[in-house]
Amino acid sequence: MLLAGTDDRVAGLVCIAAPDETETSQGQQDKFPVTDVFSHIEIADGRAWMLPSGAACFAGDLPEEEQKVVWATHFAPAFDLFLRSAPGVAWRSKPSWYIVAANDHTVHPELERAAAKRMGATTYELDSSHVPISQPDIGLLFSKLAASTSYEQFSVLVRQSQGSAGLMRFLLLDLDSVLTLDPRAPGWTGRRLVRLIAGNPVTAGEMTRHLPDAGTYAPVTILISSGNVVKLTGV
């Protein structure tokens, strides 16, 4: 991400770790206590695999069933990824936002705070795990926003309504309920496929002030899947 961030088309960064050009992620982590997730890692086939028991360290604020989905769909990085450095440091020249996860058991929260301070980033500290996905009911927010009379009031309402990840759930599509009934998807029963559309209108507005096209990336779509992929027939 930091290497891609030096591209002229990138207007800003949202980070959870940000080494300097001569640093590595592992070098930064070594300056702080070892986090719990490293007791649940196995090196095999040149990659660092998170064991099922590590899901609680990675996404501990999700229900147990959703933690299992995170584990089943996570991608194992190359074992030496965090020992590599990247040329170019985008955060030195571009506006940055930083999420500090106060309950992070993967990257130490004190490391996150130190990195955010050095970057001079706009920082949000959330009472969350490393990868929080928390969306409160958005209906109440819309009724209150309709009565807001100023940007300040609007911002307060959004902050009060957002979840621990700083996001709000706009729409949840339970796709597996449709596929279970679809004769072209035999064997789908028992699998899960959920499309989640989430975002934050205040954050999107701040990003758009720096780059108008950034508004086209908000909200975001998150696809959560478990089980084997079933190929639709007759398509």
What are the pLDDT tens digits along the chain (235 aa)? 444 566 677 666 666 556 777 788 888 889 999 999 999 999 999 999 999 999 999 888 888 888 888 888 888 888 888 888 777 777 777 777 777 888 899 999 899 888 888 888 777 777 778 875 543 444 455 556 656 778 888 788 777 777 777 777 666 666 666 667 777 767 666 666 777 777 777 777 777 777 666 655 556 777 777 665 444 443 3
The one-character DSSP state at 34 is P
- With residues binned 3-state (H G I as helix, E B as strand, rest as coil), the percentages for the chain, rounded to 5, are 35, 20, 45
Residue 36 has what pLDDT? 94
* Dihedral angle, C-alpha 148, 124, 50, 191, nearest 10 °: 0
User: What pTM does this model have?
Assistant: 0.55
CB atoms within 10 A of CB 215: 12
Which residues of the chain form CATH 3.40.50.1820?
1-132
Partnered with residue 171 across adjacent β-strands are: 197
CATH fold group of domain 1-132: Rossmann fold (3.40.50)
* CA-angle at 124, arms to 9 and 87, nearest 5°: 40
